Structure 1
Amino acid sequence: MRQIVLDTETTGLSAENGDRIIEIGCVELLARKLTGNNLHHYINPERDSHEDALKVHGISNEFLRDKPKFAQIADELLAYLEGAELIIHNAPFDISFLNKELELLGRPPITQVVSGVIDSLVMAKEMFPGKRNGLDALCDRLGVDNSGRTLHGALLDAELLADVYINMTRGQDALLIDASDSNGEAGSVEAVDLRQFDLPVLTGNEAELEAHRALLADLDKASKGKTVWRLLEPA
């Protein structure tokens, strides 16, 4: 599955009241792996940013004066996003701005271009109820290095969110076995009869067992109680 982690920076908080996108950053995932095929644009919004917004992203009005307008990058952006599943933190905000930009160009909404939208903020609130679930808080909680994030930036935030999302949805991919050779081509796998080995049983200490229980609890929350061990519990 092709997924695009997307983030925007804007002149303010309300697309309906005339605020515009000034930066868009996209990070591509294929089968939950970073590909490096990213897309990034600064955009001339044809208006100044609000003072409070400038404090958040630090992108000056002067810097944006010679940047392309959204109309100039729209075709490239839509071609890049077509058919992909979007991953966005607080998706309604970014989607509202994308839709307004497309509406101004007479284009259909972004949801008609992509296959779906995942709101990672909603996921985080389900996994970590009652806790702070902003991007910085999630980076701290999940061990994602955000030391370079002094101001908001669309591409940097998309890169961080990609790592956060992979960490929040970890599990099934760790169970996959790579049966390809060093050249990336599929190879044969020799069966081994484990009955010939006397394998020792290693038990975890209390700290390891507690970490294991915490991991299972996170997976259970992420699946809304539909993990296999819950489904197989006797009635």
Structure 2
Amino acid sequence: MFTGIVEECGEITARDDLTEAARFRIRGPLVTSDASFGDSIAVNGVCLTVTELNDGEFTVDVMAETLRRSSLDRLVPGAAVNLERAMAVGSRFGGHIVQGHVDGVGTVKTVSPSENWTVVRVQVPASLARYVVEKGSITIDGISLTVSAVGDDADGDWLEVSLIPTTLAETNLSDVAPGRRVNLEVDVIAKYVERLAGAARSANNEVEGSESNE
């Protein structure tokens, strides 16, 4: 479990393409300072397992399914990645509940800088749009952000987030540009509510159906 508060902007130092998988070596002195074999670290919002540790770097294996469902397939040596260790029990909860399970990939449509913040518009897959609400939470490349606007146009559904200078400086969104693919994780509570509401409707329909047949 994570909170979406990025601890460190790391760097991909090596990539090995394997059969139906990829192995990444990532530099992250902070997140490896107390890491152990088997620990979980979120890389651009994807929960991955540490398989090796060596002098401020760690290695992870990423299966083909994860590569297909996230933007990790485009990572190359030199790429900056957002890193977060799993949440410690009893620590401050600065963001929101983040599982590290990417729901889909969005595409940055526009980047609009201003004096005190930058507005980024991201095209959202239609399958995820129903979970995104204004002033709700969204995880973009592992960063817990507040949705400042939602809408749709000829290209489909979109959301906007407003990034303060600190977010830009401390994450890999410092060089965000139109066309970039980003990992999206919607608020898991919204998915549970939808599931429970659907089950309740089904149960009510079954009751009404049985009553009408009596």
Q: Give the alignment's TM-score, normalised by structure 1.
A: 0.26
Task: Indicate the structure with greater strand content.
Answer: 2
Q: Give the alignment's TM-score, normalised by structure 2.
A: 0.28
Query: Greater RCO between the two (CA within 8 Å, min separation 6)?
Result: 2
